[in-house]
Amino acid sequence: MSDLVVLGGTSGGHIAVMLAHLLGAELGEVEVSKFPDGETYVRVLADVEGRRVVYVNSLQRGPNETLVETLLTLDALRDLGAREVHAVVPYMAYARQDERFKPGEAVSIRTVARLFRALDLDSIYTVDMHLHRITDPTELFGAEFHNLTGVRELARYVRERHGPLGNAVVIGPDEEAEQWARIMAEELGGLEYAVLEKRRVSASEVLVEARGVDVEGRLALIVDDIISTGGTIAEAVKALRSLGARDVIVACVHPLLVGRAYTRLLRLGLKDLVGTDTVLSPISRVPIAPAIAEALRRDLGL
């Protein structure tokens, strides 16, 4: 029996299956259902006593329910005698509410972090979590915290499907996306990259301006961490095409695609639209498990 067992929650099972295969670990099972009153029922079916456990669940569709399921499962693992408990949360919900923007608001990610902190976990792994105003996530969450990136997996997909890219330019749709544009450009052989200027009009409407970006006759590759309503991407594509971009590819790590976002993006006539499977969607064609497996091998000495 392997010392390492991988478990997947209702929104992480697809990642857990590949992760267990890549790590040569046992793939365990967790039973999750609902009581008649709507409460979540969790039962760990794998033998975890004295073993190292990696539990994967992404707080994506229905984050309130998946958060409760995740907390219940992680707490049960420790109570059942697991020697080590490592949580993999590819998409960490509530991370964007990381400060009080208006008087009286709950700082949601700090509340969520306190819940994780109470579980006495050995480590937590996320993927491209919103950390712009969080300086020490390990201190905040109370466990060794690893924020991985899915951009290298996206770059591999772009290179294999669309290479050679010639004089393509990588575009970050706003200043916060500069970090992902830089990684993508480096992974694709040192392409030029630039960042657009975004001005938010409302929670669902943004204006994007392209200044000093030379995309005339070139392929533009937009990369971002999250696509939610698709408003930022739509405006970015419009701005790039006004500057003469030949084609546009859009890649993101977390394709939330809320509401009619998918249809909105399809109407843009993009050369390609792709995301990782941290969040399941019609464009989730790039598996994140290889990036997670690489980190676990390094950190756990596998």
Q: Report pLDDT for 202.
A: 67
Per-residue 3-state assignment (H helix, E strand, C coil) for the chain: CCCEEEEECCCCHHHHHHHHHHHCCEECCEEEEECCCCCEEEEECCCCCCCEEEEECCCCCCHHHHHHHHHHHHHHHHHCCCCEEEEEECCCCCCCCCCCCCCCCCCHHHHHHHHHHCCCCCEEEEECCCCCCCCCHHHHHCCEEEEECCHHHHHHHHHHHHCCCCCCEEEECCHHHHHHHHHHHHHCCCCEEEECEEEECCCCCEEEECCCCCCCCCEEEEEEEEECCCHHHHHHHHHHHHCCCCEEEEEEEEECCCCCHHHHHHCCCCCEEEEECCCCCCCEEECCHHHHHHHHHHHHCC
Residues 240 and 214 sit within 8 Å (Cβ to Cβ) = no
Q: Which two tokens stand for residue 127?
A: 């993927």
**Per-residue pLDDT band at 99 (split at 50, 70, 90):** confident
Question: For residue range 281-292, what is the model confidence (pLDDT) as tens digits?
Answer: 999 999 999 999
pLDDT tens profile 87-97: 999 999 998 88
Mean pLDDT of the chain: 93
- Ordered by where they begin, the domains of the chain are 4-149+287-300 (3.40.50.2020), 151-277 (3.40.50.2020)
For residue 257, what pLDDT is reported?
96
Question: Which amino acid does the sequence have at 124?
Answer: I
Q: Which of 34, 33, 78, 38 is nearest to 55 (CA)?
A: 78
Give tens-digit pLDDT for 216-241. 999 999 999 999 999 999 989 998 99
Q: Which residues pair with 206 in a beta bridge?
A: 200
- pLDDT higher than threshold 70 for residue 203: no
Supply the pLDDT for residue 43. Answer: 98
Residue 207: predicted pLDDT: 67
pLDDT band per the 50, 70, 90 thresholds, residue 206: low
Q: Tell me, yes or no, if 34 is annotated catalytic.
A: no
Higher pLDDT, 51 or 212: 51
Catalytic residue among 34, 198, 238, 271: 198
pLDDT digits (tens, 9 = 90+) for 25-42: 999 999 999 999 999 999
Which of 58-72, 90-104, 192-206 shows the highest mean pLDDT?
Answer: 58-72
pLDDT (tens digit per residue) in 189-202? 999 999 998 766 66
pTM for this model (two decimals): 0.93
Residue 188 confidence (pLDDT) above 60: yes
